[in-house]
Structure formats: structure tokens, C-alpha cells
Amino acid sequence: MNNIAVELNGVLEETVAGRLLSPLGKRLYFPKGIVAQSAEATKHAKRLNATIGIAKKGSAPMSLPSIRNDLPALKPEEIFPYAPTQGVQELREFWKAEMVRKNPDLGGKRFSMPLVVPGLTAGVSLLSDLFAAKGDRLVLPDKYWDNYPLIFETRHEARLVTFPFYTKAGGFNLEGLRGALRKAGGRGKLILLLNFPNNPTGYSPTLEEARGIVEAVKETAASGVQVLAITDDAYFGLFYEEGTFRQSLFAHLADAHENILAVKVDGSTKEDLTWGFRIGFLTFASKGMGENAYDALVAKLMGAVRSTVSNSSILAQSLLLRASRSADRDREKKEAFLEMEARYRRAKESVSRASSSVLTPLPFNSGYFMSFRLKKGNAEDLRKALLMDEGVGTIAIDPQCLRVAYSSVDLEKLEDLFSTIYRTAERLFG
């Protein structure tokens, strides 16, 4: 094992992060090689810097005018260089301040500086590199994003432990979560991954349910189980109903127990409507964890980034940073939110008026999606019929669940969308 990895492991040895590391996570380190030495040279090589493999003219990176001319507002150094492995520092600082602004319960709590990753998918995958090993248990509700099994099961041979997402009354299934945590905790370590607003259901917990989730995780940690609690906040902020918990669970898990390592995965993708920018953030927190431990953990994460994608787009980060300084940004985000809220309301109205012997809408209150449960028939057959006969695209999540992304359909077309879904379901299975 590399000496730097050994040193980092020593710093983390007495923390929950150290106890959760996978074999790969223990081996990972950030090398004191080209990137680290170049970063040092950026600070101190005031006369000549011959460290990084980049073509420069004077102090600016060289560029092709045919590309440069499309980006007149940006300086060459905001477009063309490699970004730091950990991300542009000013953007990281901005995002950390934004996290506290959007999650007031984080105020006064200690957590790491967010590290930039190339999208939330990469963020979750990098976490699996650090912490998931063969046989580890991943706790998920049974309505989950289909990339999670690919990341954890296929790539790292972890095992999924699922529980029914909803109670019979239609709320979040806290007892199911507690049972899954007990079942998965027998090995002394588990990974919990919660995604709110949820994809595919479009459901977020109520205030009471959020408190129950945190208490269930704390109970598990108090029993001696080491818990990696990942909050995938891809759709953060898209909360439409009063009584919904409007912060990230990370805000309450951050200092919940010494045996809980909380990780927030978020980004600009949906929050700033920048899907193709591929800019996400990973942030760590654990009760009693000090700055040295956070630095060591971030160094390991940087090693994972360096050994896979190297860094995230400097252009995308520069554009986000410039947008953060714009006086129009908050207004523009509010306008986008109101448009999504209007589509949500129209979707709610459409399904509340409908009657079907085939389809039951699952509860939804946030995000981009809603889903139907099929009382009979097969969701894949319905999906194909909608697509081939009606030219309507939907997603079959499993044999009994059809997901509808109302976010991607214009407001005036939503009634037609839902009436077509209901009509086709009745024609096939009614």
C-alpha cells in the first residue's frame, strides 16, 4: 500500500469514515505528483511555471479563435485550463455558503468543503469506490433510480436491501426503513441511500417523516453499526406543498452520531438547469470529526477523481461562478421553479379528476416526476403501446410501475398527456 494511503488511513483510523472505507477506499490516496506539484507551483512559481501540460501564450492559455469567439464574456483562463482536481476554490466556497443558506439547520455545524465532481452520477460512483465492497449492504426504498444497482451491485458486488417505499396510507414507510436497517446492520456496516425529491415517485417526506428517518438512522448507529448515509439531492428545492420537509436530510444527519458519516450529493444540474454541464458536489459530515479527518477524506476522494475522470470542466465551473454573481440569478431560478410548480399542479389536477380500473397514481408532492401503479397488466406493455400507438414516451420502472416526467411536457399539453395514458391503459387492460 502506498505510504500516503497509509498516512491518510492513520488520520481516519478512529473515525466512522475510516471504519467505513472499502478495500479500494483504503488504498486510495492523492499522489504528490504532477497535479499536486502544479498546484504548489501555481502559488509559488511567480517567474516561470513549467509543470502542467498546457499550451500558454504569456499568462493565458492558448485557444482557437473559432472556439474562443463563442464565449466573449469569459477570460481564456476561465475556459481552457485544466480545473483543479477538487474544483475551482471560489465555486466550492460559494456552494458551501449556499448549502447553509438553503439548509438553515446546517448553520453552526462542521462539514467539509464541497468537492466538485463531474455530475451527480459520478459523485455517487466515486462514493461507491471509497466505501462499497463485495457483500456490503445498501439500503434503499423499493422505488429507486435504476443507476444505483449498476453502481453498487454490478461494479462493487454490494447487496441491495430494499423496503416498500409507501405505507398503505400513502406516506413514507418508516417501519419498513427501520426493518431494512436492522436487517442490513448485522455485518456492523451499512450504506443508506435516500433520494428526495424521489426519482421515480416525486415524493418527499413530511416534517414528521423526516424526523423519523433521522431517528431511525441514529438508532442504528447507536447500536454500534457504522452507517454511510448518502443523501442524493439531485432535485433539491423542488418542493411544492406545505408540510413537506424542505431541507436536505444531510442537515440533520451531519451531527447525528459519531457512527454516521453523512454525505450530500448535489449539484447545479436541476438547481440551475445545467444538465449537460456535469457539475456536482460531494460534502461530508460526521459528529466529532475534525478538520484533519475531513482533509484526509477529501484527499482520498481527490485520489478517486484523479484516477478516473481527472477533473471537472473548467468552462462549466466558470459559467456557474459567473452566474452566482449575477443579480438576475435568483429571479431566473424563481421563474423556473414557478413553471415547474404549475406543471405539478396541472398533473395533480389531471390525475385527481381521472378514474381508472387499471391505474393508481402513487402519492407525489415534489420534483420532476409522478408514477402510476398498475392494478393489472404490465407497465412495459403499456409503455410500448403509448410509444408506438400514441407517440407518447414514458418509463416502465418495474412490471407494475410507470413513471411520467411531467417536467418535460409543456403546461398546456399535460391534460392531453394524462388522458392519453389513462385511455391507453383502459384499452389494453380495462
Could you read off the pLDDT of 177-193 as tens digits, one per residue?
999 999 999 999 999 99
Question: Cell numbers at residue 150, please?
Answer: 449498476
Residue 101 in this model has a pLDDT that exceeds 80: yes
For helices 291-306 and 3-12, the axis angle rounded to 10 degrees is 140
**Lowest-confidence pick of 105-114, 210-219, 368-377, 383-392:** 383-392
Peptide bond into 72 cis (omega under 30): no
Residue 202 in this model has a pLDDT that exceeds 70: yes
CATH ID of 3-30+85-324, from 3.90.1170.40, 3.40.640.10, 3.40.1160.10, 3.30.70.20: 3.40.640.10
**What is the average pLDDT value for the chain, to the nearest integer?**
92
Q: Tell me the C-alpha distance between 107 and 109, whole Å.
A: 6
Residue 123 in this model has a pLDDT that exceeds 90: yes
Could you read off the pLDDT of 135-166 as tens digits, one per residue?
999 999 999 998 899 899 989 999 999 999 99
Look at the alpha carbons of 396, 398, 399, 403 in this order and tell me if their dihedral is positive or negative.
negative
pTM, to two decimals: 0.91
- Report DSSP state, residue 240: -
Report the DSSP pairing between strands 115-117 and 280-285: antiparallel
How sure is the predictor about 227, in pLDDT bands with cuts at 50, 70 and 90?
A: very high
What SS3 string covers 328-339? CHHHHHHHHHHH
Q: Tell me the C-alpha distance between 305 and 313, whole Å.
A: 13
Does residue 214 contact residue 377 with C-beta atoms inside 8 Å? no
pLDDT of amino acid 55: 59
Residue 72: phi, psi to the nearest 5?
Answer: -65, -25
Could you read off the pLDDT of 189-198 as tens digits, one per residue?
999 999 999 9
How sure is the predictor about 220, in pLDDT bands with cuts at 50, 70 and 90?
A: very high
Residue 36 in this model has a pLDDT that exceeds 70: no
Question: What residue spans define the domains of the chain?
Answer: 3-30+85-324, 329-429
How sure is the predictor about 43, in pLDDT bands with cuts at 50, 70 and 90?
A: confident
CA-to-CA dists, residue 429 to 8, 103, 379, 404, angstroms: 59, 45, 11, 19
Q: How many CA atoms within 13 Å lie on the side-chain side of 164?
A: 9
pLDDT of amino acid 56: 62
Average pLDDT, integer, range 20-31: 88
* CATH fold label, 329-429: Aspartate Aminotransferase, domain 1 (3.90.1150)
Residue 171: phi, psi to the nearest 5?
Answer: -95, 180
Could you read off the pLDDT of 283-342 as tens digits, one per residue?
999 999 999 999 999 999 999 999 999 999 999 999 999 989 988 889 999 998 999 999
Residue 318: phi, psi to the nearest 5?
Answer: -65, -40
Does residue 109 contact residue 284 with C-beta atoms inside 8 Å? no
Question: Cell numbers at residue 424, please?
Answer: 391507453
E strands in 82-208: 115-117, 137-141, 159-163, 189-195
Burial class (CB in 10 A: 0-12, 13-18, 19+), 347: buried
Q: Tell me the C-alpha distance between 143 and 196, whole Å.
A: 11
Does residue 312 contact residue 267 with C-beta atoms inside 8 Å? no
Q: Tell me the C-alpha distance between 381 and 359, whole Å.
A: 14
